[in-house]
Chains A and B, each alone.
Chain A
Amino acid sequence: MFLSRAWGYKLPRWIARFYLAYLAIPIVLLVVGSVGELWLNTLLPTGFTLAWYMQVAADPSFRRAFTASLAVAAIACAACVLAGLPLAYAIFRARSKVVRSLARVVYQLPVALPPLVLAFGFILVFSSDTLPWLGSIWLLAAGHVVLGLPYFLQTVVADMQRLGLRTLEDAAESLGSSGIQRFVHVVLPSLRHSILSGLVIVAALSLGEFQFSNLVAGFLNRTYPVVLLQAFYGATGFACAATVVLLLLALAAAIAGGAVSGSASRLRGVAA
C-alpha cells in the first residue's frame, strides 16, 4: 500500500472538492460576469450593474425566444403525456416478454441518436411540398418529443412495474369499477409522481436543446439556446446575463423535479 491510511480517507474527499469546484467555477464566473460593468483582459470584471439583465429583458429577439422555448417545452410535455401514457401502458401490459424487451430497445433508441441526425431527417421530410412545416413551433416540439419520450417512458414504465399497477387494476375491477373509472381513479393518480418527474426531464431537455433546434427552428420561432449563441458575438456581460437566465430555468426544472420525487418517496417510504 503506497498511500498512508490517512491519505486513503483524504484523497477521495479532495477529488470530490476539485470536481465540485470544476463544476462551479464556470457558473460562478457567469453570474459574476452578468453583473459586472466592464470585463476586458482582467481575471474578474469591475463595477456592478444590473443593466445586462435589463438589456436581455428588453431585447425583442430574446423575449420572443424565451416565450418560444416555454411554448415548445409545454407542447412537448403535453404530447409526451398524450402519446407516452398509452405507449407506456401498452408496453407494460404486453403479454410476451419478447415484445416487452423489443419495445424497450426501440423506445430507448433515440437516446443513442445524435440530435443532428434527427434534424437532418426532419429537414429532408418537412421541407418537401407535401409537408412544408419546417420552421413551425409544432415541428420543433415534435422533435423534442422524440428526444424526450425515451426518458418519460422509462420513468413511467418503471413506476408501473414497481407499483404492481396490473394488480391494482385487477383489484379495482373486482370492486366494480369500469375501465374509465379505473383510469381516472387508480391509474392516473397512482402514477402522478412518475408522470410529473418524467415531464420535468422532458421540459429540461426541451429548454436546453440546441443541436436539433438550431437546424430546424425557423427564423421567427428560434428557441432560447439558439438565440443565445448570437449573444456570444456581442458584449460579454450581455452574454453572461442571457446564459444565467437559461441556467435559472434549468435550475427551476431541477428543483421542481427534486420536490416531486421527494414527496413521492415520503408517501411510499414506509411500504418499502
Chain B
Amino acid sequence: MTTAVDVEGLSFRYPGTQAGVHDATLSIAPGELVVCIGPSGCGKTTLLRLIAGFLVPDRGTIRLDGRDVSALPTRARECGVVFQSYALFPHMRVWENVAYPLRVRGVAPEERRRRALAMLDQVGLAGFADRLPAQLSGGQQQRVALGRALVFSPHALLLDEPLSALDAATRTTMRDEIRRIQREHGIASLLITHDQDEALSLADRIVVMRDGHIVQDAPPQTIYDAPADAFVANFVGRANLVDGVVTGPAAVDTSLGALVTREHALPAGAPLRLLIRPERIEIVDGTQGENALAARVLRDRFFGAARRVEVGVGQGRLEIETNARDTVQCIRIPRDAIQFLNDASNS
C-alpha cells in the first residue's frame, strides 16, 4: 500500500536562528489521522507549512500519493489546509467560501453551488449557505473551513491547531466532528496541536516534536505507556520521574526507597530513570508487601472525578491520582507500573 503523505529527511531552518525542523521523516497512510504534538516553538507548525508548500525546505523530499511535490508551489500540491483562525474569506457567503476551490478550478457555477451545498450538509451546516462568515460562531466557521478544505478532494488534510481558538465546550464537540468527517472522507490527515487530550483522543498515531526533531512516532497508547524519554512522558500525561541506580536483576535503589521492578538486563550500579504514572499508584493500609511504602501527604487537591495527592515518600515525592476518598498513609507501586526510560544520562 502506498502512503498518502511521505516526508523524508525534511529540514528547514529559519534564517539566523536554530529554530525550524531538523531531518524529519514521517508518513501518513490513506485515511490515517496523525497528530503532531509538542510545546510551542518545537517546529510542528513549520512541519505543516513545509508540507503545504508555504515554506521551501532546505533539504528533504515530500511525496503526496507517491508523487514528489517538493518543488511544486502550494497551489499545485492539492492539500486542504485548515487554519487556527479559520481564514474564511469575509466578503464571500458560506457556500461561496466552500465553492472557492471549485471556482478556481473552473467548475461551472450551478455545479459549484450544488457541490458546496452537499459539503455543507456533510459538515452539519445545511441551511447556513447564504450567511456571511461573520454571522457564524467559531465552531461553525471552523466547519466551513473544513468543508472548504475537503470539497476539492485533496491528497491530504492539514489542520493547524484547528481547535485552539474555540471555547472548551465547542472544542470537545468539534474534536469529535473533525474525527467523524475525516473518517467519512477517508483522507490522510495531519493535525497540529499542543493539547495532549486532543492528541490522545483523536490520533491514530501521535508524533511528538521537540526543538525541531521528531522524538517519538507511535500510536497513542504506546506514547502514553512507553514514552521514548522523560520529555515525552512529561508532555503527554502526568508523570512521576524517579532517578535510581540498579542494585540487582529486578531491583533498583531510588530516592523513594528500594523498589522491585520487572527483570532487566542492566548491570548493577547503572544509573537509570523510572516513570511511574500517577494513576497506577495504589493506596494501601500498611507497608507490608512488595513496593509498599509509607507516605506523608504534602498536598491534596480534589477535582471531582479525580483527586490528586502529592506525597513525600522516603527522600522523594510522588503525585498520585485516585478516586478513593481515604486518607493516604501508605502507597504501593505495582511492579508493572514502573517503566524504564532510556535517557538516564541526559536531563
Contact = CB atoms under 8 A, between A and B. Distances in A.
Assign chain A's interface to a size class. 20 to 34
A161 to B, nearest CB: 13
Given A170-B54, A268-B134, A176 B78 contact: yes
A170 B75 contact: no
A26 interface: no
Contacts of B80: 174-175
Among A176, A190, A192, A270, which residue has the most Cβ atoms of chain B within 10 A?
A176
A228 to B, nearest CB: 40
B87 A271 contact: no
Contacts of A60: none
Contacts, number: 82
Contact of B83 (A167, A178, A270): A167
B153 to A, nearest CB: 12
A173 B74 contact: yes
Contact of A171 (B76, B87, B136): B87
Nearest to B84: A167
A160 to B, nearest CB: 12
B100 A172 contact: yes
B135 interface: yes
A193 to B, nearest CB: 9
Contacts of A267: 90-91, 132, 134
B75 A171 contact: no
B85 interface: yes
A178 B104 contact: yes
A167 B85 contact: yes
A186 interface: yes
Contacts of B128: none
A173 B52 CA distance: 10
B325 interface: no
Contact of B81 (A164, A174, A189, A190): A174
A84 B303 CA distance: 57
Contacts of A185: 89, 100, 103-104
Nearest to A171: B87
A173 B100 CA distance: 11
Contact of B148 (A173, A175, A270): A175
A175 B158 CA distance: 12
Nearest to B91: A189
Contacts of B77: 174
Interface in B124-139: 132-136
Contacts of A174: 52-54, 74-75, 77, 79-81, 149
A271 B101 contact: no
B301 interface: no
Interface in A119-154: none
Nearest to A167: B87
B127 to A, nearest CB: 17
Among A164, A190, A269, A271, which residue has the most Cβ atoms of chain B within 10 A?
A271
A90 interface: no
B75 A173 contact: yes
A188 to B, nearest CB: 9
27 contacts: A163-B90, A164-B87, A167-B87, A168-B87, A170-B54, A170-B87, A171-B83, A171-B87, A171-B88, A171-B89, A171-B148, A172-B100, A174-B52, A174-B53, A174-B75, A175-B75, A175-B149, A176-B78, A176-B101, A176-B104, A176-B152, A177-B100, A178-B104, A185-B89, A267-B91, A269-B134, A271-B134
Interface of B: 52-54, 73-81, 83, 85, 87-91, 100-101, 103-105, 132-136, 145, 148-149, 152
Interface of A: 163-164, 167-168, 170-178, 181, 185-186, 189-190, 192, 267-271
Given A190-B91, A268-B90, A270-B134, 6 more contacts: A175-B75, A175-B80, A176-B75, A176-B76, A270-B136, A271-B90
